[in-house]
Amino acid sequence: MANINLASEGGVVSSAPESGSHEFDATKTRTQGQLVLRRFLRHRLAMVSFGVFVFLVLFAFLGPFIWTYDFEDVSSKSYQPMSGTHPLGTTQVGKDMLALLMRGTGYSLQIALIVAALATAIGVVFGALAGYLRGFVDTALMRLVDLLLIIPQIAVAAIVVKGFSGSWYVVALVLAAFAWMQIARITRGETLSLAQREFIEAARACGATTPRIIFRHLVPNMIGSITVNATLAVATAVLTEAALSFLGLGVQPPDTSLGVIVLENYGQFLNRPWLFWGPFIVLVALSLAVNFIGDGLRDAFDPRQTKVRA
């Protein structure tokens, strides 16, 4: 019964009965996962964005195997215009721009995905613990957030990258150290209200341990907002990483990322505009696609919510 209600709420009651043998089975029951997937697949903008995202992933990770030039290969002539051999031209030191873009997109994606995964894991565990246990744990978490809020991320990233190394995983760790707070705040807020509900009380009465309540009862009920915010964290991480690298405080050459490519080529904006617009378009496409996927997921998880973005 509950499943049928859910289905009609989402507006996806299948009117055409399956040509099955059960005559009372006009309304197919679907799990929450199936419902969400269906709604997401029908969200046109989100699907287009998903296509763009998949294309960029393939471009970054399969592209280098197909494309003939390597991103470290400096054998080509300096500053060649767009041509058949170099579709996006070459840079000052004679690197092929297309090969550079593939590598840069790969690094940016890698960093952003790891940041989002780490931030979500830390944020969910801390947020749920603070919201469920309250008291000392909660106070400690909030003070930690207060502390992290007063130190600019950009300065910490700069000092860490200078003092330790500019490897991509160091950059990812610093970004994650500042990105988990948002997810922790949201998880904490939802946990505070969920923890008052009867099913949690029932679980506790049955003797469920704290980890079990958090991971088997609380987290599955927040999976919507966790997924949406993890997606948005990817978009933020892409832009933050690019900005840090652009200032020379993120990924360090010879490693490359989209920010590094823009930094190295933006001086050519007027004379050789393709060297700027190439990485720019990839960067904007990536961040737009991820943002739209997040929007689509939000609508898919909660169809009643109005489509107002804030």
**Interacting residues toward another protein by CB under 8 A:** 143, 146-147, 149-156, 158-160, 162-164, 235, 239, 242-243, 246-249, 259, 262, 266, 269-270, 276, 280, 283-284, 287-288, 291, 306, 308-310
Name the residue nearer to another protein (CB basis): 12 or 142.
Answer: 142
The least distance separating another protein from the CB of residue 273, rounded to whole angstroms, comes to 9
The least distance separating another protein from the CB of residue 162, rounded to whole angstroms, comes to 5
Name the residue nearer to another protein (CB basis): 37 or 151.
Answer: 151
The least distance separating another protein from the CB of residue 264, rounded to whole angstroms, comes to 12
φ, ψ of residue 106 to 5 degrees: the values are: -60, -50
Name the residue nearer to another protein (CB basis): 233 or 249.
Answer: 249
The least distance separating another protein from the CB of residue 1, rounded to whole angstroms, comes to 32
The least distance separating another protein from the CB of residue 140, rounded to whole angstroms, comes to 12
Name the residue nearer to another protein (CB basis): 1 or 150.
Answer: 150
Do 110 and 168 form a contact (C-beta atoms < 8 A)? yes
Number of Cβ within 10 Å of residue 62's Cβ equals 11
Rounded-to-integer distance, Cα 187 and Cα 126, Å: 8
Name the residue nearer to another protein (CB basis): 80 or 268.
Answer: 268
